[in-house]
């Protein structure tokens, strides 16, 4: 079935782009990547919350 093959190819290509390209190279989790423990992450967020913010 031609349509089915086309859709499966599209799905595979899309998932590859999303998970193997975008996630790996552009969308690292900032807190996971830059801090090692939950204590460090919460300290970082707390620093941001208690610093003068940018206007919305």
Partner 1 sequence: MGNEILSTVNWSRAQFALTAMYHWIFVPLTLGLSFLIAFFESIYVKTGDESWKKLTKFWMTLFGVNFAIGVATGIIMEFQFGTNWSNYSWMVGDIFGAPLAVEGIFAFFLEATFFAVMFFGWQRASKGFHLFSTWMVAIGSNLSAVWILIANAWMQTPTAMAFNPDKARFEMQNFADIALSPNAVHKFTHTTSSAFLLASLFVMGISGLFMLQRRHLLMAQRSMVVAATLGLVASVFVAFNGDESAFHIAHRQPMKLAAMEGLYTGQDKAPIVAMGVINMSKKPGDDLPAFYQEVKVPGMLSLLANRDFNSYVPGINDLVYGNPARGIVGAQQRMVSGKIAVAELGRYKTAKQNGDAATAASALALFNQNKEDLGYGYLNAPEEAAPPVGLVFYAFHIMVGLGTLFPIIFLAVLFFAFKGTLDSQRWLWWVCFGCLFLGYVASQAGWVVAEVGRQPWAIQGLLPVGVATTNIAASSVQTTFFIFLALFTALLIAEIGIMVKQVKIGPEE
The contact set with partner 1 (CB under 8 A) reads 3, 6-8, 10-11, 14-15, 17-18, 22-23, 26-32, 38, 41-42, 45-50, 53-56
Helices (H), the chain: 2-15, 30-34, 38-49
Nearer to partner 1, 36 or 56 (CB): 56
Note whether 50 and 42 are within 8 A (CB): no
At its nearest, how many Å lie between partner 1 and the CB of residue 17? 6
At its nearest, how many Å lie between partner 1 and the CB of residue 55? 5
Note whether 49 and 39 are within 8 A (CB): no
């Amino acid at each position: 079935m031609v349509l089915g093959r086309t859709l499966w190819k599209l799905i595979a290509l899309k998932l590859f782009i999303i998970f193997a390209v975008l996630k790996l190279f552009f969308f690292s989790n900032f807190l996971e990547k830059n801090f090692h423990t939950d204590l460090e992450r919460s300290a970082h967020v707390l620093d941001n919350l208690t610093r003068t913010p940018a206007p919305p």
